[in-house]
Amino acid sequence: MIECLRILESVNLPAHIVAHSLQVARCAVTLARHLNNNSHRLHEDLVCAGSLLHDIAKDLSLKTGKNHAHLGAAILEQMGLSLVAPIVRDHIFLNESMLEAPFSESVVVNYADKRVKHEAIVLLDERFEDLLVRYGTTPEKKAHLQRRWKIYRALEQKLFAHTSIKPEHLAQEAAQVSWAVGHCDGSQ
Ligand SMILES: [Fe+2]
C-alpha cells in the first residue's frame, strides 16, 4: 500500500483523486474479504493495489484527452506492474457477458469504483443518478448510462448473493478497513 501511495505521489496525483482511490480500496478489499470468506480466491493485495492505482492517469487524461483507463494501464505496464495494469485498464468496462464469468479482482475493483462518488461511499443508484446528471447530456448518452446502470445492478446482485452482507452495509464495513504496513504493494 505504501508503495502504491508513493507511485501516486510520484505522478503528482491530486489529493482528491488519492482520497477517492483510498475509498475505492476500502470498498473493494471489504468485498473481496467477504467473497473469500465464502470460498472465493481473490488476491486481496492485488484488489487493493488495483483500487489505489485505478485512476493514476485521471488527471493526465483530462490534459491529453486520452482514455484514463488505457493510459493508466500503459503507465503501470511501463513500471513493470503487469498484474495491476489489466485491472486498471478494465475498471470502466463491463458488459453482460462479464456477468457470467467467475469473480475476478478486476470486477471487484470495477464495482467498488461505482460505489464511490468523489470521496464518499454511496449506493449504486446515487452514483449513477449523479453520472446521469453530469454526463447524460444527450438522449444517446443517457440511454448508454442507463444500460450500464442496469448491468451494474445485476453485477451487484450477483456479488452480494455470495456475501453475508447487503450492498447498503458496505460503507459501514469499509470505513473500518485497516491497512498493514507493506501490505498491498502492487508488485506481485
Ligand atoms: Fe475511480
Instruction: Write the DSSP assignment of 30-90 as a string of letters.
Output: HHHHHHHHTT----HHHHHHHHHHTTTTHHHHHHH---HHHHHHHHHHHTT-TTTHHHHHH
Task: Tell me the pLDDT band of 95, cut-offs 50, 70 and 90.
Answer: confident
What confidence tens digit (pLDDT) does each residue in 159-176 have? 999 999 999 999 999 998
113 alpha carbon – ligand 1 mean position (Å): 5
Domain that holds residue 27: 2-93+103-121+163-174
Q: What is the pLDDT of residue 39?
A: 86
Q: How far apart are CA 157 and CA 163, in angstroms?
A: 10
Q: Is residue 139 part of a domain?
A: no
Q: Is residue 89 part of a domain?
A: yes
29 alpha carbon – ligand 1 mean position (Å): 15
Task: Tell me the pLDDT band of 180, cut-offs 50, 70 and 90.
Answer: low
What confidence tens digit (pLDDT) does each residue in 57-67 have? 999 998 898 99
21 alpha carbon – ligand 1 mean position (Å): 6
Q: How many domains does the chain have?
A: 1
Q: Is residue 180 part of a domain?
A: no
CATH of the domain at 78: 1.10.3210.10
- Chain-wide mean pLDDT for the chain? 92
Q: Is residue 132 part of a domain?
A: no
Q: Is residue 167 part of a domain?
A: yes
Q: Is residue 130 part of a domain?
A: no
Q: Is residue 186 part of a domain?
A: no
